[in-house]
Amino acid sequence: MALDASFLAQLQNSSERLIQLLDNFAQARVLVVGDLTLDEFLTGQVERISREAPVLILRHENTRQVPGGGANAVYNLATLGAQVKVAGLVGKDDQGQALRHIFEAAGIDTSGMLLDPDRPTVTKTRISGHARQSVTQQIVRVDRKSDELPDQDLQLQLAKYIQQHLDTVDAVVCSDYGDGVFTQPAIEAALSHQKTIVDAQAGLQRYQGATLFTPNLPEAEQAVGYAIASGQTLTQAGRDLLALTQAQQMLITRGEAGMSLFERNGIEQHIPAFNRTDVFDVTGAGDTVVAALTLSLVVGASFWEAAVLGNLAASIVVRQFGTATTSPEEMKAALLALLEEE
């Protein structure tokens, strides 16, 4: 995919600076407040049709467990080299333990993962099957979650943990998937930090005053209440979102159309997608954008530089199936490859 010549020149001129920023990611300290999810992938080979019902019988081959939802944002930050603390809720179940073990193995501080005795760990189990010499395909997904809010005492405990650790981190990321973590006490605590980045599927106005929001196009349309179908409506949406949230900056991710950056001073910038062809799975790409963007801002990047690195990170993970992560080394290689291609 050919990039616009002027953008390519800007990217070329900034390449050394971008690589330097990537080298500094390890200095960043981030607290992620998030709706923590465990993604499970069960795979098997189809043996036959059941005699009990018209369903496939799978011979189980393997089970893979990876962080999903807000937990994917946590894990992305860790694989990018940051020092990460996590604040959220898990159930008293095997899935919660699995998520904790994954985090601890990655060097993530899990002291803010509070146990919720009344609700299960949010778990999305994808069951896939294949016949001999055929492609594996997803058959069904089973979700485990509760629609009830956490107990009031647990809400206050979580808010207290967040408040107590604000001085130990350079930024706070709110990864809101609508699973109950973000009650008013938690939101107020997170917004007490001077650099709060919000990635929320809905209810952006609840985070008024946050530093930066990163809605995707459908989330932005839902927030403003109209379709974003032209350059004019895109510009209007950026302005309306800044007014709605009182944020300093707004980043709208637009899939194959790239990203659009809006600032309170009226500056509007657009970054093209770096990868439109080798896209296999966009699951979790937004979490990757938020992670790389946050670390870039923490280590001194401009808004444009941070968005470019977020875009670059996403262009890598969408080449893989399922929730995925990347690293500074992969990002450096991808940047150099992108410049060489052009």
Question: CA dihedral in degrees (193, 195, 197, 202; nearest 10)?
Answer: 50
Residue 217 DSSP class: H
Residue 46 lies in a domain: no
Number of domains within the chain: 1
Rounded Cα–Cα distance for residues 156 and 162 (Å): 10
Q: Phi and psi of 4, rounded to 5°?
A: -55, 140
Q: Which of 277, 333, 334 is nearest to 311 (CA)?
A: 334
Q: Which of 39, 176, 199, 287 is catalytic?
A: 287
- Residue 40, token pair as written in the block: 């499970």
Residue 56 lies in a domain: no
Residue 193 lies in a domain: yes
For residue 319, how many other CB atoms are within 10 A of its CB? Answer: 15
Tens of pLDDT, residue by residue, the chain (342 residues): 456 677 778 778 888 899 999 999 999 999 999 999 999 999 999 999 999 999 999 999 999 999 999 999 999 999 999 999 999 999 999 999 999 999 999 999 999 999 999 999 999 999 999 998 889 999 999 999 999 999 999 999 999 999 999 999 999 999 999 999 999 999 999 999 999 999 999 999 999 999 999 999 999 999 999 999 999 999 999 999 999 999 999 999 988 888 999 999 999 999 888 765 454 344 557 888 999 999 999 999 999 999 999 988 888 877 665 566 778 888 888 888 877 765
Residue 49 lies in a domain: no
Q: 108: domain range?
A: 5-37+66-122+146-341
Residue 268 lies in a domain: yes
Under 8 Å between Cβ of 272 and 280: no
Residue 13 lies in a domain: yes
The CATH number covering residue 222 comes to 3.40.1190.20
Residue 51 lies in a domain: no
What secondary structure does DSSP assign to 225-254, as a single string? TS---SHHHHHHHHHHHHHHHT-SEEEEE-
Q: Which of 153, 152, 33, 166 is nearest to 87 (CA)?
A: 33
Half-sphere exposure in the Cβ direction for 135 (13 Å, CA): 2
- Residue 34, token pair as written in the block: 């998030």
287 as an active site residue: the answer is yes
Give the per-residue pLDDT at 120: 98
Question: Tokens 């981030």 sit at which residue?
Answer: 30
Under 8 Å between Cβ of 238 and 252: yes
Residue 60 lies in a domain: no
